[in-house]
Amino acid sequence: MKRAKYLYGSASRIVRFKKLFITLTKAKGYMYILKCSDDTYYTGSTKYLEKRIEEHQNGKGANYTKKKLPIQLIYFEEYRRIDYAFNREK
């Protein structure tokens, strides 16, 4: 009986680890370039590209873009990790 409980406990830890691993490996980052209404460009990085573009369009993004609406997404790159996208932005 004790062995069965131990195996069950181990299996549940393995399942939790696998779920965490899958979540972490799905985490992505994006580097993006926006074209502003005055024909200038803005670069940024984010984990949630669609949400961030919407924030820029609604004037809730960077100070730079809120004064130059509307903006247009002209380019983006997808990375496995956000820090890779951040480094590419710089």
How far apart are alpha carbons 85 and 28 in whole angstroms?
9
- Angstrom CA distances, 60 to 55, 57, 66, 84, stand at 5, 7, 7, 24
pTM for this prediction: 0.69
User: Dihedral sign, CA of 30, 73, 49, 46?
Assistant: positive
Domain ranges of the chain: 29-89
**pLDDT tens column, 27-84:** 689 999 999 999 999 999 999 999 999 999 999 989 999 999 999 999 999 998 899 9
- Locate 59 and state its tokens: 């004037």
